[in-house]
Amino acid sequence: MTDLASAGLRPARARAIPRGSDPGTAGDVRRGQAILVVLAGAVRGRLGPWLVPLALLAAWQAAARAGLIAPSVLPAPTDVLAAGWKLILNAQLLDNIAVSARRAFSGFLVGGSLAFALGLANGLSRLSERLTDTTIQMLRNIPNLALIPLVILWFGIEEDAKLFLTSLGVFFPIYINTFHGVRTVDPQLVEMGRSYGMGRFDLFRRIILPGALPSIFVGVRYALGIMWLTLIVAETIAANSGIGYMAMNAREFMLVDVVVLAILIYALLGKLADSAVRVLERLCLAWHPAFQRS
Amino acid sequence: MPASSPSIAAREHGPRGVAIRIAGLTRSFGDNQVLKGLDLTVPPGQFLAIVGRSGCGKSTLLRILAGLDRPTGGDVALTAEAGRVASARIMFQEPRLLPWASVLANVEVGLGSGRRAPGARQQALETLSAVGLLQRAGEWPSVLSGGQKQRVALARALVSRPGFLALDEPLGALDALTRIEMQALLERVWLDQGFTAVLVTHDVGEALALADRILLIEDGRVTADIGVDVPRPRRRGSVTLARLEEDILRRIVGPSVSPDYDI
């Protein structure tokens, strides 16, 4: 793209010379403008969201290569990549990613489905809400990471501990948003459905669930963030496998590049999960004006 | 359809209208009695309009007729011709379409549990075509205009061929031109299908454009029952209609001006 831009610049530079201005400066200004135009195009295009992360990466690489950052503090991205490649080759990295991903999603599945079921139940039934909502709201206000000492006493550092913590973390955002979604379904639509003879099941499947879906998706996206957060902390404190464990282990041996690699992988996995939900959102909420392409 | 009387038109297709008989109907919300012993008989296939001030109880009456509300006392009976089910449909002031269902699927909601029967889709498509929206069948409701949404709602109400259609100010939120179009459409489908229609409206002009008979409800009671014996299609702004409109408006707003009105 830069080649194209500078190719387009030549006539402009030629015109600038007779005017008597310094050809070099004028050319630089033009070239700067052209780069700006290309950049603006990129921002609008598909690459737009990735520009800032890529620029940060480039700046980091440059600073590391120039010796501005000591390798013991923050190794260059290329070194981190090299460390990653080495770990891929001895199968450690992929194993650890698989272990972490499995933990994350089993926690999400267990906590998420419990939260979804309770959110629906409490949204649909006043009795169920009276019985359980207060309890859930009290539990919600306990920071789940504060439970780690207790969880270690209960479950040790086995899989159960991680499953418990991630399930708990995922539970509340999904519960609250499902509950809220069901409660805010347009009562006029429900009345319409009743007047057209929909039974309880039809009413739920055709009006209440689709009406609550946008709110449920908000809960899922929020829950995914909490899922990674909880898992990272759980893995760094008490684990013998997984990316968090890999990072802690690397710290013991002063392998800064592996620690940084672990952090970057968490960022990528988080982004991946979020993107997957956004795709799902686009598919399920195609009717929603907010998701329609103009 | 030419200026034939509605009863003849309905007879041609076989009468489908439901007869309504109400005796001593009361409805209270707490201490507030909204309907105070109302009697009414509507013959099958009649187009009845109910006018009255806000809060007079006309919407409550309509909701009871449509089965969305229960009376506190009195009798309400909807009877169909022999061998037919007395089915009632209501059209609300808002279209109340399901935003997550296509226009066609929204019309199919009107078929109830019969929407999986063979020929149901064809029936929905035909009704959609009757309201002039066949080419929008696959679109989301959010891209339609207000008038188009209300036409989809009309198709949804009519697709099951009900014997009684309750209309709760369905044109209230539309602009003046769309309103006139919708009135013509309503009249056409009513003439075509011969159902009994009860329209609640604030707009006396609209009542006169559509109804065989206009009922004035004040303070929970019927205070005037006016036959509109004007041939169809009715010409907007005709002298007869204008006189009737003035007469009815005077009865609604009149008491404060001239207390000695009588019916």
Residue A192 has φ and ψ, to the nearest 5°, of: -60, -50
Is the CB of residue A238 less than 8 Å from the CB of residue A157? Answer: yes
DSSP structural state of residue B70: -
Does B68 contact A194 at a Cβ distance shorter than 8 Å? yes
Residue with tokens 């309907």: B35
Residues 6+ apart with CB under 8 A from B189: B130, B131, B154, B158
Q: Please name the residue of chain A whose CA is at the shortest distance from the CA of residue B96.
A: A189
What string of DSSP letters covers A4-47? HHHHHHHHHHHHHTTTTS-HHHHHHHHHHHHHHHHHHHHHHSTT
- A215 neighbourhood in chain B, CB within 8 Å: none
Measured between CB atoms, does A191 come within 8 Å of chain B?
Answer: yes
pLDDT attached to residue A71 = 83
* A121 contact partners, CB below 8 Å, separation of at least 6: A128, A132
Final residue of a structural domain among B161, B179, B213: B161
List CB contacts (< 8 A) between B104 and chain A: none
Contact call for A288 and B99, based on CB within 8 A:
yes
What is the tens place of the pLDDT at every residue in B143-184? 999 999 999 999 999 998 889 999 999 998 888 888 988 999
* Mean pLDDT to the nearest integer, A88-100: 88
More confident residue, B10 or A170: A170
pLDDT tens digits for range B206-256: 999 999 999 999 888 898 899 988 888 888 778 888 888 888 888 887 655
Give the mean pLDDT of chain A.
85
Across the interface, whether the CB atoms of B109 and A197 are under 8 A apart is answered no
B contact test, residue of A184, A188, A190, A192 with most B CBs within 10 A: A192
Tell whether B114 and B194 lie within a shared domain: no
Domains: count for chain B: 2
Instruction: Let me know whether B181 and B244 are in one domain.
Output: yes
Q: Give B-chain residues touching A286 at CB under 8 angstroms.
A: 140
Peptide bond into B233 cis (omega under 30): yes
Chain B neighbors of A210, CB-CB under 8 A: 98, 100
> If DSSP codes are grouped into helix, strand and coil, which group holds residue B16?
coil
Q: Which residues in chain B touch residue A293, judged by CB atoms under 8 angstroms apart?
A: none
Q: Which residue has the higher pLDDT, B57 or A189?
A: A189
Show which of B161, B176, B194 is a domain's final residue. Answer: B161
Up-side HSE of residue A254: CA atoms within 13 Å toward CB? 3
**pLDDT over 80 at A214, yes or no:** yes
**CA separation for the pair A154, A160 (Å, rounded):** 9
Residues B168 and B252 in one domain: yes
**Residue B166 and residue B247 in one domain:** yes
**Are B56 and B172 in the same domain?**
yes
8 A C-beta contact, residue B88 and residue B66:
yes
d(CA B160, CA B146): 23
Is B135 found in the same domain as B108?
Answer: yes
Does residue B209 lie in a domain region?
yes
Same domain for B76 and B169?
yes
Could you tell me if B107 and B228 lie in one domain?
no
- Sign, Cα dihedral of A150, A154, A159, A163: negative
* B94 found inside a domain: no
Residue type (1 letter), B239: V
Of the residues B113, B129, B161, which one is the last residue of a structural domain?
B161
Q: Are B195 and B45 in contact (CB under 8 A)?
A: yes
Residue B105 pLDDT: 94
A146 falls in which pLDDT band (50, 70, 90)?
Answer: confident
Q: A281 to chain B: which residues are within 8 Å by CB?
A: none
Between A39 and B156, the more confident residue is: B156
B105-144 tens-digit pLDDT: 999 999 988 888 888 899 999 999 989 999 999 999 999 9
Same domain, B83 and B115: no
Nearest CA in chain B to A286: B100
Q: Is the Cβ pair A195, B67 closer than 8 Å?
A: yes
Are residue B192 and residue B248 in the same domain, yes or no? Answer: yes
- Using a CB–CB cutoff of 8 Å, tell me whether A197 touches chain B: yes
Cβ within 8 Å of residue B25, ≥6 positions away: B35, B37, B38, B39, B40, B61, B64, B71, B73, B74, B75, B76
CB atoms within 10 A of CB B122: 9
In a domain, B92, yes or no: no
SS3 B225: strand
- Chain B residues with at least one Cβ partner in A under 8 Å: 66-68, 89-90, 92, 94, 96, 98-101, 109-110, 112-113, 140-143, 156
Nearest CA-CA partner of A76 in A85, A87, A67: A67
Q: Is residue B12 part of a domain?
A: yes
Tell me: do B242 and B137 sit in the same domain.
no
Phi, psi of A288 (to 5 degrees): -75, 130
- Please, which contacts does B184-188 make with residues 24 or more away whose CB atoms are closer than 8 Å? B184/B233, B185/B131, B185/B132, B185/B151, B185/B154, B186/B154, B186/B210, B187/B232, B187/B233, B188/B1
pLDDT of residue A173: 95
DSSP string covering chain A: -HHHHHHHHHHHHHHHTTTTS-HHHHHHHHHHHHHHHHHHHHHHSTTGGGHHHHHHHHHHHHHHHTTSS-TTTS--HHHHHHHHHHHHHTTHHHHHHHHHHHHHHHHHHHHHHHHHHHHHHHHH-HHHHHHHHHHHHHHHTS-GGGGHHHHHHHHTTSHHHHHHHHHHHHHHHHHHHHHHHHHTS-HHHHHHHHHTT--HHHHIIIIIHHHHHHHHHHHHHHHHHHHHHHHHHHHHHS-SSSHHHHHHHHHHTT-HHHHHHHHHHHHHHHHHHHHHHHHHHHHHTTTSGGG---
Which DSSP letter does residue B235 get?
P
Interface test with A, best of B92, B96, B116 (most A CBs within 10 A): B96
Tell whether B70 is covered by a domain.
yes
**In this prediction, does ipTM exceed 0.85?**
no
Nearest to A180 by CA among A111, A127, A133: A133
- The kind and range of the H/E element at B79 are strand B73-79
Burial class (CB in 10 A: 0-12, 13-18, 19+), A19: exposed
Eight-state DSSP code of residue B160: T
B198: left (phi over 0), alpha (psi -120 to 50) or beta: beta
User: pLDDT (tens digit, 9 = 90+) per residue, A70-88?
Assistant: 888 888 889 889 988 988 8
Residues of A in contact with B90 (CB under 8 A): 195
Is there a contact between A195 and B142 if contact means CB atoms under 8 Å apart? Answer: no
Domain of residue B207 covers 6-87+162-256
Sign of CA dihedral B232, B234, B238, B241: positive
Nearest CA in chain A to B91: A192
B263 is a domain residue: no
Tokens of B69: 């509300």
CB contact under 8 A, B68 and A195: yes
Say if the Cβ atoms of A192 and B92 lie within 8 Å.
yes
Q: What is the dihedral of CA B229, B233, B238, B244, to 10 degrees?
A: 30
CB within 8 Å: B99 and A195: no
In a domain, B95, yes or no: no
**Which residue, among B59, B100, B156, would best test binding to A if mutated, counting the most A CBs under 10 Å from its CB?**
B100
Average pLDDT, chain B: 85
Look up the CATH number of the domain holding residue B171: 3.40.50.300
Cα gap A162→A155, rounded to integer Å: 9
* pLDDT at residue A13 greater than cutoff 50: no
Structural contact between residues B182 and B151, judged by C-beta atoms closer than 8 angstroms? yes
B123 shares its domain with B146: yes
Comparing alpha-carbon positions, the chain A residue that sits nearest to B142 is A289
Residue B71 lies in a domain: yes
- Angle CA(A36)–CA(A41)–CA(A45) in degrees, nearest 5? 145
Give the HSE-up count for residue B125: Cα atoms under 13 Å, Cβ half-sphere.
6
B96 to A192: CB separation less than 8 angstroms, yes or no = yes
